[in-house]
Amino acid sequence: MELKLGLKVHDADNVATIFAEGIEKGVEIEVRDQEGHAQTLTVLDAIPYGHKVAIEDIQKDTLIKKYGEEIGIASHDIVKGEHVHVHNLDSMRGRGDLKGGKK
């Protein structure tokens, strides 16, 4: 069986980036961090290569962190294993009205 891999780059991250093709609902992936720690996670949606998966439950209005950076804010509650993308994430990039995740 081919290893399906996700990568958590920073300790503060609440998402991991998928580095595998063919990630469909119900597939198990291995999420690794910088120190080589790994956790197995079952994905709840199909997730394209390079997209994000929630590695913990994320409540609405919580900052989404990837690579140790705040990349957006959850527009809905997000469940561990769910695809994180434009359907449940509001980008903060270029938005002066969302400094620190607050309006």
Q: For the chain (length 103 residues), average pLDDT per consecutive 10?
A: 89 96 95 94 96 98 95 96 95 61 46
Model's pTM, two decimal places? 0.87
Nearest Cα to 53, choosing from 6, 91, 103? Answer: 6
Decide: 82 and 75 in contact? Cβ < 8 Å: no
User: Residue 103's pLDDT is what?
Assistant: 44
Supply the pLDDT for residue 99.
Answer: 53
- In this predicted structure, what is the pLDDT of residue 101? 46
Residues 30 and 1: their CA atoms lie apart, in Å, by 13
What domains, with CATH codes, occur in the chain?
5-101 (2.30.130.110)
